[in-house]
Chain A
Amino acid sequence: MKYLDEYRNPTLAKAILAEIHASVTRPWVLMEICGGQTHSLMRYGIDELLPPQIELVHGPGCPVCVTPLEMVDKAIQIAARPDVIFLTYGDMMRVPGSEGDLLQAKAAGGDVRFVYSPMQALEVARQHPDKQVVFFAVGFETTAPANAQAVWQAAREGLGNYSALVSHVLVPPALTVLLSAPENRVQGLIAPGHVCSVAGCADYASLAARFQIPIVVGGFEPLDLLQSILMLVQQLESGQTRLENQYSRVVSAAGNPAARRMVEEVYEVCDRRWRGIGELPLSGLRLRRKYAGFDAEVVFGLEAPGVEEDSECISAQVLMGQKKPTDCPAFGIRCSPERPLGAPMVSSEGACSAYYQYKLVAP
């Protein structure tokens, strides 16, 4: 497959691995931030091919996982209404709220459908003027522009029956909390390539300078990840703490200005609760007041009930790279993708779920 096979080439992978083995002299703890990167590392068994001195811990970058419990509850509440068509990205369907998930809401009679893009959701709203069409707008900086554009477009067309249940999260505020924590062990970061393709690299350069930590903007294919790890090891071994861009075929320093303008037009920064972590200041996006008519929370007048998360779950430490999924006593026993206790087990890109899928030997 063109443009992908090149980045999965076994000969090149072996060459980079050899270079990593040759470069490393001391133990280092590295974190990949994005769930897509975690998934790739596990899917290709990359962690096992690395020298024993390199420990990979997994970051908070699975948007499905960190969508707050109360937002999932709100989604289920809205989806159950007979006047609503509820649309979502596929992998939000199985994310458990306090009681049940969207698949169960669908089974109970709710009109819940998955779409590949918010533009499809707009089309559904045009086709069903008699229904309230609600799109579950989740994700990091990556999905924010398209979700914002759908609201902007709905406003332009006067589509009064379209609204978005918005629960966007931003990566840099979470990293600030992670790197400021006294328990932090992470010494090098692989930054999320697709987030940077929209948001640009400036925030990550600031983080590298402020926390004196090397950061490499990385891609998602095996060679991308191996090269990112090599670049981090080379910086660490030579005492550097710069931002580097491994994923330059996709990411430019400025990101995508048109996409950022659209986000700026429609959304504003707000405090946001992260499932498994808690409330992080200025870590989310919500609709601006002038788009309140397209805000499902306003349209349906939903209160935010405080919901307790499971106390046995150590997801906060897992998402912050302080513990591994397998350090959790509930892992694989009381917590599995079928019955997740916490955020990193709920989506296939969560760290616990990736360990469960690719590492659990002998059930």
Chain B
Amino acid sequence: MNWACPLPLRHYPHIVMGHGGGGRLSADLVEHLILPAFGGQSAGALGDSTVVPPIAGRLAISTDSYVVRPLFFPGGSIGELAVNGTINDLAMSGARPLYLTAGFILEEGFPLATLAEVARRMGEAARQAGVRIVAGDTKVVGKGQADGLFINTAGIGELRPGVDIGPCQARPGDVVLVSGTMGDHGMAILCAREDLEFDGQLESDCAALHELTEVMLDAGTIHVLRDPTRGGLAASLNEIARSSQVGIVLDEARVPIGEKVQSACELLGLDPLHVANEGKLVAVLAAESADAVLAAMRRHPLGRHAARIGSVTGQHPGVLAAKTSIGGTRVIPMPLGEQLPRIC
């Protein structure tokens, strides 16, 4: 961590209740730690809200809270997640993300240097994505009342004219694409949290997907976009099947899964289709657009391993089925809750 503590914060290596009290300590925290990281305005410009110029098109709005443990993991941290996660939620309705807000809930005693590193990573992720963090808030709760650091981000994006993407839009005859390998984020977090060691490190796929969705929208008409986060691909496709009242048939052998993720899942008795992703998307679109969109995805760095994995049918509405690798069929259910490793 390369953060050098600026003068007014030097007496406080850890968060104290006063950092959330709205007084000078709060102001110091925002002015000397948060704002420099986000690369923005001077403190003098801070009001109770931020005013932005008019936006021409329809707006997409989303919010999400981030409570990941550990805070830092191979491939990212809660900072990148908080920025990219909300960007991705906006991108999945076909919007170009413009502005984010960030709210921090801090536990008394949380190291300031860690907060600085998280904020730096948030600023860096936002800059890379071309999105501005324009409003924020910090609150402090007593020791033991939170687990270190929680972040909420909300975002606003502008929709492209003519785009109509939503979970109800899948139609029989459509095809299903994914942008890359499944399960990387969830398995990286699990292994980092539980100190599990496998041959070679598992890395989170955490990334902002709005540029990938832009090239996809340029290449063809898309009916549904989802980022398969919690519950993985299985949850996303089940939701699409239910919302659109269609059946979805997955060709299991075609779903890209990294070898390390596959091995770790085998060992722990987990199903990679139920494991979370943070830098992948699933798209449902008309068969005639599929080749062009798939080619466009594969030209983008985040879509190199994109694949056609299934199709939409009028049969068994609301149900996700799979053609298994040896030619059988099965239903893929909506995951119940958290996946738990099996005994044997």
Is A42 in the interface zone, CB < 8 Å from B?
Answer: yes
Most chain A beta-carbon neighbours within 10 Å: one of B317, B336, B340: B340
Is A323 in the interface zone, CB < 8 Å from B?
Answer: no
Interface string of B307-335 (1 = CB under 8 A from A): 00000000011110100111111110100
Is A182 in the interface zone, CB < 8 Å from B?
Answer: no
B residues 295-316 in Cβ contact with A at 8 Å: 316
Is A357 in the interface zone, CB < 8 Å from B?
Answer: yes
Q: Which of A13, A63, A93 contacts B326 (CB 8 A)?
A: A13
Contact A89 B343 (CB under 8 A): yes
Docked Cα-Cα span, A45 to B330, in Å, equals: 6
Contact B327 A116 (CB under 8 A): no
Docked Cα-Cα span, A93 to B341, in Å, equals: 10
Most chain B beta-carbon neighbours within 10 Å: one of A92, A116, A194, A337: A116
A residues 31-77 in Cβ contact with B at 8 Å: 36, 42-49, 63-64
Q: Which of B263, B318, B327, B341 contacts A363 (CB 8 A)?
A: B318
Is B196 in the interface zone, CB < 8 Å from A?
Answer: yes
Interface string of A113-125 (1 = CB under 8 A from B): 0101000000000
Select from chain B the residue with minimum beta-carbon distance to A48: B328
Is B65 in the interface zone, CB < 8 Å from A?
Answer: no
Docked Cα-Cα span, A289 to B269, in Å, equals: 35
Contact B340 A44 (CB under 8 A): no
Is A349 in the interface zone, CB < 8 Å from B?
Answer: yes
Most chain A beta-carbon neighbours within 10 Å: one of B196, B266, B268, B269: B269
Tell me how many residues of A have a C-beta within 8 Å of chain B: 45
Interface residues on B, range: 20 to 34
Is A81 in the interface zone, CB < 8 Å from B?
Answer: no
Is B262 in the interface zone, CB < 8 Å from A?
Answer: yes
Docked Cα-Cα span, A44 to B318, in Å, equals: 21
A residues less than 8 Å from B337 (CB atoms): 94
Interface string of A78-91 (1 = CB under 8 A from B): 00000000000111
A residues less than 8 Å from B194 (CB atoms): 116
Residues of B within 8 A of A (CB): 194, 196, 253, 259, 262-263, 266, 268-269, 316-319, 321, 324-331, 333, 336-337, 340-344
B residues less than 8 Å from A10 (CB atoms): 253, 325-327
Contact B344 A116 (CB under 8 A): no
What 9 pairs between A and B have smallest CB-CB spacing?
Answer: A45-B328, A90-B340, A90-B341, A13-B326, A358-B330, A89-B343, A44-B324, A45-B330, A45-B329
B residues less than 8 Å from A1 (CB atoms): 259, 262-263, 266
B residues less than 8 Å from A47 (CB atoms): 328
Select from chain A the residue with minimum beta-carbon distance to B328: A45
Docked Cα-Cα span, A110 to B316, in Å, equals: 43
Interface string of A129-147 (1 = CB under 8 A from B): 0000000001110110000
Contact B336 A42 (CB under 8 A): no
With A45-B326, A139-B344, A357-B333 given, name 20 new contacts (CB 8 A).
Answer: A8-B326, A10-B325, A13-B327, A14-B326, A43-B330, A44-B326, A44-B328, A45-B327, A45-B329, A45-B330, A63-B343, A64-B343, A89-B342, A94-B337, A142-B344, A337-B336, A347-B342, A349-B342, A357-B331, A362-B317
